[in-house]
Each structure stands twice: as structure tokens, then as C-alpha cells.
Chains A and B, each alone.
Chain A
Amino acid sequence: MLTIKGLRASVAGREILTGLDLDVGPGEVHAIMGPNGSGKSTLSYVLAGRDGYEVTGGEVRFDGDDLLDLDPEERAQRGLFLAFQYPVELPGVNNTYFLKAALNAIRTARGEAALDSVSFMRLMKERLKVLHLDETLLKRDVNAGFSGGEKKRNEIFQMAMLEPRLAILDETDSGLDIDALRLVADGVNALRSPERSMIVVTHYQRLLDYIQPDHVHVLAKGRIIRSGGKELAMELEEKGYGWITGEEAA
């Protein structure tokens, strides 16, 4: 589904991704861990198509197509979703209105009919229930004045509404209390399906207790330097990154 080969990218003239390889198959969940500043968010942004990230080498294929050639909205319309590490506040933009615009833009781009208000409301209420979220969320402006945890939950709600085929969760667990972590993880698990792949960026092994990944990768200095199964996360939790990055240097 997603194939990244030798990806290099610079921000403000500085190379952050230094030849990154990653293969994500349909239905797989990949966890990416790595020290602060290693390039995890940069990878997320490059995949989502944010301006200011210059790709200087390598390639990214999404269902065989050149992903890097597409505008951010086209990527979203094809089923890519990024849950932001720092979700943006949109005062004046109502959550319901926003989600309807997004969902219908995606549906229209795919040649599907736009959802009418009644079906849309029904879908929203159903997804809120699955995620144990309060209906007041629908009346609020997107992330405006939300607590850190509320923003993260709203990202997951958006994901549940837009039903992406590839979701990238950039530290969605950071800033969540224990109960919220549980709810978010349950929500993510409810969305797991053989057609839906996920890349979960996290610093904490705990999330991976709830969301069982198929693969765990360590990203350091802009590259994947170690890949393994779930046990790799536990080893990292115990020994820290020095264990691998040190080994790398040696």
C-alpha cells in the first residue's frame, strides 16, 4: 500500500530525513519510535504534503502512484489521514460544518454523492458513540480552546468520520490521561480492518499494549535504523535509545 524508498527531505536547508525506507502493507499497523528531533513528524508532514519540506531524494508510492506528486487535498481524497501531533485551532469553523465539508470533498473527489444532512448527522452520532465522545463536540469550533487531550480525541473522531485507508497518528497518545488513552486506543482498534493501514508514532510502549503493532521501527537521525516486532518496543522501554543508536555508531 505504502512504499518509501531512500527518502531524503530538508527543512529550511537542513537535511532531516536521510534515506528512509519503509513498507506498509494493507491492514498492517506499524509503530515508529525514536528520540526527539529524529524526524518522525517531518516524515508525517512529508507524507501529508506540507509546504516547506523539500524532498531531495527517494520516492514514495501509495497504491503504486507517486504520492509526492499530489497536493495535500488529493492525498487526503485518496485515503491518507494525518492525526497531527499539534492539531491546529480553527476559531469560527464549526466542527460539524468542517467535517461535512471534508467528508463531502473526499466523496465528491471519488465520484460518490455528497452525504445529505440527515445521513451525515446519523454517521456523526454513531461514530461519537463508538469513541465515547460527547455530542457537545459537534457544536464547538474545531479545536478552539480545547485542552491538549480533547484535541487528540478530536483528531481520532475526524479519522473515524473520514475512514482513511492509511492513517498516520503522530503522538496521538501524548498528553492523554490514562482513561483517554484507553478510549483512543479502543477507537483506533475499532477502526482496524484488513484494508486500513496505520503508522503510529509514539514515545511510549504503553500505547502499544493497547494497539498491538505488526511491526516496530526505530527512527534515528532521519532513517529507520532498526525494525522488529512488538518485543523491540519493550526492549527500548527497558534500555533506552542509546542501546541502538550507540550500537549504530559503533
Chain B
Amino acid sequence: MNAQPLGQFEDWLPGGGAIDLPGADLDWLATARQRALASARALGVPTARHEAWRYTSLKGLIEQAFTPYGAAAPGARPDDLEAHLIAGLDSHRVVLVDGRFAPGLSDLGDLPAGLRIAGLGQLLSQDPDALQGRLTGVAGTGAHLFAALNTVAMRDGLVVLVEPGVRLARPIELIHLAVGTERPGVAQPRTLIALGEGAEATLVERFVGTDEARCCTNLVGEVALGRAATLGHYRVQTEGAQTFHISALHIALESQSRYRGLNVGLGAAWARTDLVARFAGEGAECDLSGLYLAGDRQLIDFHLDVDHAVPGCASRERFKGVLHGKGRAVFDGRVLVARDAQQSDAEMVNNNLLLSANAEIDTKPQLEIYADDVKCSHGTTVGQIEPETLFYLRARGIPAIEARRMLCLAFAEEILADLRPLGPLHGHVAELVGARLERVAFD
């Protein structure tokens, strides 16, 4: 294999100080890091010639010359967090500041029996056995260069372990708070969520920051669902206007398990999300949905990769986008149905609303089906607000601009409705979407 230079991203690797990475003394982790490094060097820096990066230029990311934060603990004050909290959302709260677990800002009192929540760095030094066979077990070397770099360089993040049969009453809320330093920095947090057989949990994962912070998030998440386990995973990305966001989430589903993931992409200047799901046992269900809004100087990119490796599983992908100003978005949904994966059920929909002639969406649903007894469908639309619909609202006295906003909100609500069981979270996100649409100049 050819070892390729990684240019700017050489800096993202731990330098001579790799020794100070947590878990440096663990053989299994050292092996995983070595494999990831080899994979990174084999992959090299993606360019527009790589299909998965065709519409997603790294130019801006490279120009920013982000470098990793050091080993020092981050300096966020409670005030930095306060502005981002959602009133009335009752949760087990974990805060990562620039990728580092911040116990002082977290709220982990009253954890029920069978639920373990810990910082990754902490667990690597105190109880690494709890991680062996799990950490990197789902993601492998990762979806792309950045995921591989995360594996090589990860030092902290979040671990959630739910014992078999445990059903959590309260959601877990993970807040990724980007604060940043003078120097543009990259945080490379790692999350591992593992649910035992029959366990049930809800995870709210939020990415927040300020418009002033010049920083980058390079996250890798791993979700391992045991037999008949159920996870509701609600991810809301509202990072600041100068933030670059990369996140790769890998999900492994044992038989009869259910994963229901909702991804809201509103913030950041440039955001790339990979959702990679693999069925490992029959009768499992994976539901991925998403809503993205992209405006001026903003790119939002979702890549989905669902692997029906075994028979009898169902996957559903439902993504909707609203593009305004000079906003750009990419939707690349790939579903693979293996030859033996009979009785698979796969449905993929991507609908986009273009509010301006300068906005752009590149959408590419791909179904690769090698089995013959399957139910698969996909549909993509790119359109504007229907004149007939707009007229109906205006004929009731609602001014044109307000009518357009209402219709955009309604379009978004078809996805956001899934947040309703989470009460205040739904209100919070609907308000953010509404506020964004307030600023959109229609026509």
C-alpha cells in the first residue's frame, strides 16, 4: 500500500507526544490506532475525484489550518453552557467542551442501576476492560480519512453502557460545546453507546457553539445495539457560523434491535455527516431521518450508508432540505442489499425545497440490490413552493412572505414531528428553524 502524505492533516495526528494519549499502554488500542493510521495513509486526502467528496470541497477546511487542542483541560465556564441549555428538558446531561469531558458542567446525579456514563479518557485509564472489544469494534478504521484520524488521535469523549433489559426513563443528553481558543483548533471526540439485549434508551446529542469560535469538530460515534435493544437518537447540529463539522456515526444492529435516528443540520459553515448502519442480525429496523437548512456561505452534507448484510431487516431513510440564499447541500444515500439478504425492506426519500435560484442541492440516492425477494424504493424531489398552495394561504388573508414561511415550516415539521415526544426539544428546534426562516429573503 502506498503511504500518502496527509498535508495539512498531518497536524491532526498526535506528534512525538503520542505517549500522553490515554490508553497508550493498551495493546489492543495501540493495534487499532496503528491500523487506523495505516488506513489514513492509504486513503490520503480526499479530492473531488473521490465519489464521496465530489460535491464537498476540503479547500476551506485546509485553509483554516486547524490544529488539535493539547492535553490541557478546556476552560469553559458554566455561563458558556447556560445559553445553550433547553429549559424543561429533563435529562442525564453530559457536556464535552472542545471534545473533552467536562464533569463540572455535566449533571450525572441519580443514574439508575444498569446505566454507566463516563468520559472516555477517564474510562481508558480506570477501567479499560469495559472498552476492550467495543471501542473501534463498530467503526473499524472508519468511514473516511477523518474518521481514521479520530481513531489515531482520540483522547476523550463519552461512553454510555446500558445493561441488558434496562429501560431508561430519562433521556441522556450529550452536549458538544465548541468554545475554541485563539488558534483555530480541532476537537476529535469519540463516543461509544452500547445497549445490552432488550435495553432501551434515548440519546439527545447536540452540537453547539458561538459564531465567534473558529474551530472544527471531528467526531466518530459508535452505536452497538444488542439483540432487541432500542435506541432513539436525536442529533441537532447548531454550531457557529465559522465552525467546520465532521461527524461519522457507525451503527451496528443485532437481531430484532431498533435504531431510530433523527439528524438536524442547521449550523456550521461546512458540515459533513456520515451515517453508516450495518445489520448484523435478522428482524432489525433502522430508521434514519434528517432535516437540513443551508443558506449563504454554508454547506451541509449528509452521506448515508446502510448495509443489509443479513435477511429480514427494514431500513427507512427520510431526509428533507431547505436551501436558501447561496446555500448548498449534498445528500448521498446508499443502501446495499446483499445477495442473501432476502425479505429486506428498504425505503429512501429525499425532498428538497429550493427557495432561491442561487441555492444548490446535489442529491444522489443509490440502491444496490443483489437479493431478489426484497421491497425497495427510493424517491428524490427538488422543488419550489407550489403556487397553488401559496395562493390558498393568501386567499385566507395571510401575507405572501408569512405564507411562504408557514409552508417551509410545515415542510420541516414532517421531520421534526418525530421530536414531539421529547417535548421541549421539539419546541427548541422548531423555534430555531422558525427564526432562521424569519431571516430568509424570499425571492
**A residues neighboring B (CB under 8 Å):** 48-52, 71-73, 75-77, 81-82, 84, 87-88, 90-93, 98, 101-103, 105-106, 109, 141, 158, 162
Nearest-neighbour CB distance to chain B for A121, whole angstroms, equals 19
B397 engages A91 (CB within 8 Å)? no
B410 engages A72 (CB within 8 Å)? no
A88 and B414 CA atoms in complex are apart in Å by 17
- A88, A158, A162 pick with most chain B CB within 10 angstroms: A88
Once A92-B411, A93-B406 are accepted as A-B contacts, the answer to whether A102 and B392 lie under 8 Å apart by CB is no
Nearest-neighbour CB distance to chain B for A54, whole angstroms, equals 15
A90 engages B396 (CB within 8 Å)? no
Q: Which residues of A contact B389 (CB under 8 A)?
A: 88, 90
B402 engages A76 (CB within 8 Å)? no
B398 engages A73 (CB within 8 Å)? yes
A48 and B395 CA atoms in complex are apart in Å by 7
- In the complex formed, the residue of B with least CB distance to A141 is B410
B143 in the interface, Cβ–Cβ < 8 Å? no
- In the complex formed, the residue of B with least CB distance to A73 is B394
Once A84-B392, A91-B410, A92-B409 are accepted as A-B contacts, the answer to whether A76 and B397 lie under 8 Å apart by CB is yes
A158 engages B396 (CB within 8 Å)? yes
Q: Which residues of A contact B398 (CB under 8 A)?
A: 73, 101-102, 105
B383 in the interface, Cβ–Cβ < 8 Å? no
A88 engages B396 (CB within 8 Å)? no
New A-B pairs, 19, CB < 8 Å, besides A90-B410, A162-B396: A48-B391, A49-B395, A51-B387, A71-B400, A72-B391, A72-B394, A73-B397, A73-B399, A73-B403, A76-B395, A76-B397, A82-B395, A87-B392, A88-B389, A90-B389, A93-B407, A93-B410, A102-B398, A103-B397
Q: Which residues of B contact A52 (CB under 8 A)?
A: 387
- 10 smallest CB-CB distances across A and B, nearest first, come from A92-B410, A76-B397, A72-B394, A102-B396, A88-B392, A106-B397, A92-B413, A93-B410, A73-B394, A105-B397
Q: Which residues of B contact A101 (CB under 8 A)?
A: 398, 402, 406
Q: Which residues of B contact A98 (CB under 8 A)?
A: 393, 396, 406
B388 in the interface, Cβ–Cβ < 8 Å? yes
Once A101-B406, A158-B396, A162-B396 are accepted as A-B contacts, the answer to whether A92 and B391 lie under 8 Å apart by CB is no
Interface string of B411-424 (1 = CB under 8 A from A): 11110010000000
B394 engages A77 (CB within 8 Å)? no
Once A91-B414, A92-B413, A93-B407 are accepted as A-B contacts, the answer to whether A76 and B392 lie under 8 Å apart by CB is no
Total interface residues on B, CB under 8 Å, equals 24
Q: Which residues of A contact B394 (CB under 8 A)?
A: 49, 71-73, 76
A158 and B395 CA atoms in complex are apart in Å by 11
A75 and B391 CA atoms in complex are apart in Å by 12
- In the complex formed, the residue of A with least CB distance to B392 is A88
A50 and B400 CA atoms in complex are apart in Å by 12
A76 engages B409 (CB within 8 Å)? no
Q: Which residues of B contact A88 (CB under 8 A)?
A: 388-389, 392
Which of the residues A73, A75, A87, A90 comes within 8 Å of B400, measured between beta carbons?
A73
Nearest-neighbour CB distance to chain B for A58, whole angstroms, equals 21
A105 and B405 CA atoms in complex are apart in Å by 14
- In the complex formed, the residue of A with least CB distance to B411 is A92
- B403, B407, B411, B417 pick with most chain A CB within 10 angstroms: B403
Q: Which residues of B contact A90 (CB under 8 A)?
A: 389, 392-393, 407, 410
- A84, A93, A158 pick with most chain B CB within 10 angstroms: A93
Q: Which residues of B contact A162 (CB under 8 A)?
A: 396-397
Interface pairs (8), CB distance under 8 Å: A76-B397, A90-B389, A91-B414, A92-B414, A101-B406, A105-B397, A141-B410, A162-B396
- In the complex formed, the residue of A with least CB distance to B389 is A88
Once A92-B411, A92-B413, A93-B410 are accepted as A-B contacts, the answer to whether A109 and B392 lie under 8 Å apart by CB is no
- In the complex formed, the residue of A with least CB distance to B386 is A88
Q: Which residues of B contact A102 (CB under 8 A)?
A: 393, 396-398
Nearest-neighbour CB distance to chain A for B74, whole angstroms, equals 40
Nearest-neighbour CB distance to chain B for A106, whole angstroms, equals 4
A141 and B398 CA atoms in complex are apart in Å by 17
- In the complex formed, the residue of B with least CB distance to A106 is B397
